[in-house]
Copies of this chain bind each other. A is one copy, B any other.
Amino acid sequence: MRTQWDSSQWSLLQELFPICRSLTGNGVRATLSILKREVPELTIREIASGTRVFDWTVPDEWNIRGAFLEGPDGKVVDFKDNNLHVVGYSEPVDAVLDLDALWPHLYSLESQPDAIPYVTSYYERRWGFCLTHKQKMSLRPGKYRAVIDSTLQPGSLTYADCVLPGKSDREILFSTYVCHPSLANDNLSGPVVAVALLKWLKTLNRQWTYRFVFVPETIGAIAYLQQHQALLTKTLAGFVLTCVGDDGPFSYLPSRAENTLADKAILNLLQHEVDTFKTYSYLDRGSDERQYCSPGIDLPVATLMRSKYGTFPEYHTSLDNLNYVTENGLTGSFSLFQKLISVLENNLPCQTTMPCEPQLGKRQLYNTLSQKGSSQRARTLLNFLAYCDGHHTLLDIAQKLNLSAHSLIEVRQLALDHSLVTRPFQNGL
């Protein structure tokens, strides 16, 4: 069943793909304003270069108008063809060099000779071109002209966020990043699924408050945490949205604390709602969970993704493109995150309204004729009630029953509808 949100994900990703994003600059701004067109609730914010954010300093803003490398046989690479051809944050250059002098400025992958690698140098001034290893090895000695028409000057770092309030001010955090140029799974899949989730969440009567954060990776998350410290006390569970667009099986990267609500929710979902999945260690982390979980922040943030960053060959190369990401990949991820959110929305502990078992028969929930064999439906309801002690959450009960928490939502609703359990208190978690 395709929903209204499914179809828009793929076209949004296609629209965003060509933009040259980086840690800062107009590519990020263009990206965020497209996202704001989709979700007007987004707030776009700027932090001036030179601002100290914890141990880091916001760097100069980088913008690029064009770049090319030309040699004895004509044009070698042009920024217009693929924005990965330029090392991110390259300083401006217009020089003629021998191949030998040029060589240290050329980046390629010997092990993937047909892929252009994605290379950046945010915190040290460099310039360089990225190209396929095949092409690099075919370059003839001679004079080469290297032109990068970029600027590196004080400006600002741009990010966006959006808070959808719920009945409770306890928050569910989704964080994704917007700093990679034409790379599809890592990272455009994240913002695209985030936008779909935001649109869907706006239609819900929400139990929790939802915060979505769109930042450049690492320094953006660090800056965000410094500027929004309320986060630290309000966050119930958080998720980094990354690499959710390919067709690979799902992966789970735990939070530092390993057993938070975010971890439990992901694990239950993966154990019961998908065929197969892969579990990583927190030691394998690499995205913004590094900041959200660091000892001085310590938020319950875990990552549910498809093929983990760094593990698929297309990662950080020109092969992570619109062929690698699929519409099925995106919609499958979106649908799993919908279930995740539904579980969290229904996770508050309930308490049975009567000390012993209720009489299900008089409520037409149990067969009045008692003979060998019994209804699984009644049995699951009774098992669910057996743990409604005001302490076990939906996820806790699902674990006891070895069932999908998502599948128990309707059992919980049945129990609520028949007043077999009390309405949960908002401060129950």
Contact = CB atoms under 8 A, between A and B. Distances in A.
A412 B118 CA distance: 33
A36 interface: no
Given A107-B371, A295-B390, A315-B372, A124 B356 contact: no
Interface stretch (A26-34, A64-72, A380-388): A380-388
A375 interface: no
Interface stretch (A200-208, A269-277, A334-342, A361-369): A361-369
A186 B282 CA distance: 45
Contacts of A382: 290
B369 A126 contact: yes
Interface stretch (A143-151, A157-165, A347-355): A347-355
A414 to B, nearest CB: 16
B295 A387 contact: yes
B389 A352 contact: no
A197 interface: no
A92 interface: no
A372 to B, nearest CB: 5
A316 interface: yes
Contacts of A283: 383, 400-401
Given A122-B370, A295-B389, A55 B358 contact: yes
B222 A357 contact: yes
Given A295-B352, A352-B295, A389-B295, A357 B316 contact: no
Contacts of A3: none
B119 A371 contact: yes
A221 B400 CA distance: 25
A294 B119 CA distance: 60
A106 interface: no
B222 A356 contact: yes
A120 interface: yes
Interface in A17-33: none
Contacts of A386: 256, 282, 290, 293-295
A368 B89 CA distance: 12
21 contacts: A55-B354, A55-B358, A55-B359, A120-B369, A122-B368, A123-B362, A123-B368, A126-B368, A221-B356, A225-B355, A256-B386, A282-B386, A283-B400, A283-B401, A290-B357, A294-B356, A295-B388, A295-B390, A296-B356, A298-B389, A310-B372
